Amino acid sequence: MKKSSRLFLVNPIFCVVVGFLFLNSSPIWAKEIPIITGADQTNLYIQYLKGKRIGLLANPTTIVGNKHFVDSMLSRGINIVKVFGPEHGFRGKASAGVKVADENDPTTGVKVISLYGSKRKPSKEDMADIDLMIFDIQDVGCRFYTYINVLAHVMEACAENGKELLVLDRPNPNGYLVDGPILDMKYKSGIGMFPIPIAHGMTIAEFAQMINGEGWLPNQLKCSLKIIKVANYTHDLLYTLPVKPSPNLNTQQSILLYPTTCLFEGTVLNHGRGTQFPFTVFGSPLYKGIYSFSFTPTSIPGMSETPLHMNKECYGLDLRNYDVAELRKTKRIHIQWMIDLYNQFPEKDKFFDKSQSKEIGNINYLIGNDLFRQQLAAGKSADEIYTSWEPGLGQYKEMRKKYLLYQ
């Protein structure tokens, strides 16, 4: 049964009134319990911020109610001295992988320092006039989604400079899913820094605790953490994000498919970039006559300026209407789509050929090992591939339990 963020309270006098209900035709509506993000629980932290010089790691998902956190805090007299922006920038206008420069925010005048340009970590100078750092960014629960790497770099800077990090936690829309091979650390990169599976099944605050607890910061540094938890949340609840987390995760469908479909970035297939449906449609001109569905990628500023197979009709797979409830039933990355598209590709030796375009990623870095390509070439089934993940995945699941804040 599909679980939902709509939880219903049982009336405490249910047993007394149940007979009355049969005689009364008027409906009695159950009370909905909303999920409340850490940022929205201002009563738990606003006094703590007063009188402090605040640094903030933020992007467009950093909201309180329907206002950006920066605007909300400035209106309350909180002293935000600078903002640090991750991939896509503070205002979220840069495409994936595009370097972002420092600037003064045109809306507020606050200084914005990019952590996706010439540096990845706040410098000693950046931290000098900060009393408290805040991290409030929506994650989607995947190893190759770069915000957990930004979290680690900020934790490192805080630990090195004796600053506390306040994490305003947010739900993980893929929190139910813990799956994928553990990263082989010889493939450590900007899209995978830690020995975790593709879908890690944690919120950003839980992951921060894991970074500290497992000693993943350099020189065994520990970051002083203060966490405002999400209220009324469990990992199995459905949660629809109020703001898209990045330019190409622009629908709930793309977010829920992402743990599986981001792997297509490591193939010669267009994975929806250059359309309004990233990570939900996949194809190549070479599938003509094999698949009937088609789409044509074009340049879209702010999403994908030079998509793979630009202005060419691509044939392939359409998952826009796929029932994502099936993923929640299996609790697996749906590797069968990759197997099918690989098997149907006319030039299998070029399916992962990164040299064909700068838009193609390295599948070994995305999946986290060099075994996956060999498994596809050998005709391994999805179940055989899943079995190969299990030893490391089982160990990770046990480790994960130590850091969970939610059921």
Give the model's pLDDT for residue 94: 59
230 in Cβ contact with 270 (< 8 Å):
no
Give the model's pLDDT for residue 4: 36
Give the model's pLDDT for residue 6: 31
In the chain, the domains with their CATH numbers are: 42-228 (3.40.50.12170), 252-369 (no CATH)
Which residues lie below 8 Å from residue 121, measured CB to CB, with a gap of 6+? 115, 153, 154, 156, 157
- pLDDT tens, residue order, the chain (407 aa): 333 333 323 333 333 333 333 233 333 334 568 999 999 999 999 999 999 999 999 999 999 999 999 999 999 999 999 999 887 767 666 566 567 778 888 888 999 999 987 789 999 999 999 999 999 999 999 999 999 999 999 999 999 999 999 999 999 999 999 999 999 999 999 999 999 999 999 999 999 999 999 999 999 999 999 999 999 999 999 999 999 999 999 999 999 999 999 999 999 999 999 999 999 999 999 999 999 999 999 999 989 999 999 999 999 999 999 999 999 999 999 999 999 999 999 999 999 999 988 889 999 999 999 999 999 999 999 999 999 999 999 999 999 999 999 99
Instruction: Tell me if the pTM is above 0.85.
Output: yes
Sign of the Cα torsion 242, 247, 251, 254 reads negative
Give the model's pLDDT for residue 22: 29
Give the model's pLDDT for residue 92: 60
Q: Which long-range contacts (CB under 8 A, 24 or more apart) does 380-386 make?
A: 381/339, 382/335, 382/336, 382/339, 385/335, 386/332, 386/335
Q: What DSSP line would sit under 341-357, residue for residue? A: HHHH-S-GGGTT-GGG-
Q: Using DSSP, state whether 85 is helix, strand or coil.
A: strand
Give the model's pLDDT for residue 86: 85
